Amino acid sequence: MPMTREDIDDLRVAKHLLENPGLAARLTNVIGMPFEKAFNYLPEKWAKTVQEITRKSLRQALAVALRTLGAADRRAPRNTLHKWLAVTSGGIGGAFGLPALAVELPVTTVIMLRAIADIARSEGENIETVDAQLACLEVFALGGSSEGDNAAESGYYAIRALLARQVSEAAKYLLEKGLAEEGAPVLVRLLASVASRFGVTVSQKAAASAVPVIGAAGGALINSIFMDHFQSMARGHFVIRRLERIYGEDAVRKAYAGL
């Protein structure tokens, strides 16, 4: 079935969102210095700490996804509400400085998951299904890279391909056993893969928050940008999944590549 003009336009917008995230550039405007300099304010061995906090946040988000996300409907996503919740969380974190990230990020991640799920619902996903819930988790891997990536491994479909097997194994496990064992190897592998990319954007957020002049107002603004980034990733991701349900994955991927 040929793709309609409206759906091609939606796909074009989705590709622009997914391939041009621009998070670092927007954070640079907030901190008022070259972004690379912001990393100088992070303590030594901070990267390991970020990864630990990131994995904890994603585990908590997955538990929320599997236990509390509601039934599907096509209501408009409550983007503004979720952004204000993230702003409040970021303001509190900014007031207490970088050490507050361990408390603030899990809260912000769950808020972002709720925002992602709202966007998924608005694009026709049934959030009661494990497939849709894991698709929400996938969003945290989008718009970021991992160490050793090259250009061929950082595009949207490349990231989905890298995660595909782990998502499939995790879905099968969760359907059979639920979240009885959060330390199950299939779940650990999936969360580690998502965390390796989500951790990049978290590190950027942490570096921006570490600049001494940021404070509560700056922390709130940084969280607003952080939330907006993942809402954009979610919008692109779930537009593409909606189109794939209509036209098939191969047809949408070819059209995406041709834009």
Q: pLDDT tens, 169-193?
A: 999 999 888 776 667 899 999 999 9
Domain count, the chain: 1
- Widest distance between CA atoms in the chain: 56
- Which tokens go with 238? 């779930």
Place of tokens 């994955």: 249
According to the model, what pLDDT value does residue 35 have? 67
Q: With bands split at pLDDT 50, 70 and 90, how would you rate the model's confidence at 16?
A: very high
Give the residue with greater pLDDT, 8 vs 76: 8
**Which of 104, 122, 106, 103 has the alpha carbon at shortest distance from 64?**
106
- Residue 72: pLDDT band (50, 70, 90) is very low
Query: Is 252 a residue whose pLDDT tops 80?
Result: yes
What whole-number percentage of the chain has pLDDT above 70? 79
93-133 tens-digit pLDDT: 444 455 667 777 888 888 888 889 889 999 999 988 999 99
pLDDT value of position 146: 56
pLDDT exceeds cutoff 90 at 74: no
The DSSP letter of residue 42 is S
Torsion of CA 59, 130, 253, 119, to 10 degrees: -80
Which pLDDT belongs to residue 153? 58
Rounded to an integer, the average pLDDT of 148-158 is: 69
Top-confidence residue, 218 or 121: 121
Q: How much is the average pLDDT of 158-174?
A: 94
Range(s) of the domain holding residue 160: 5-258
pTM for the whole structure = 0.84
Segment 199-213, tens digit of pLDDT: 888 888 877 777 766
Residues 23-56 pLDDT 10s:
877 778 777 777 677 777 777 777 778 888 889 8
Phi first, then psi: what are they for 238, rounded to 5°?
A: -85, -20
Q: Is the pLDDT of residue 244 over 80?
A: yes
The predicted pLDDT at position 91 comes to 47
- In the 8-state DSSP scheme, what is residue 127? T
Q: Is the pLDDT of residue 150 over 60?
A: no
State the Cα–Cα distance between residues 195 and 65, nearest whole angstrom. 16
**Contact between residue 137 and residue 61 where contact means Cβ atoms under 8 Å apart:** yes
Q: At 22, give phi and psi (nearest 5°).
A: 65, 25
Computed over every residue of the chain, the mean pLDDT equals: 81
pLDDT value of residue 90: 45
What is the pLDDT averaged over residues 69-79? 53
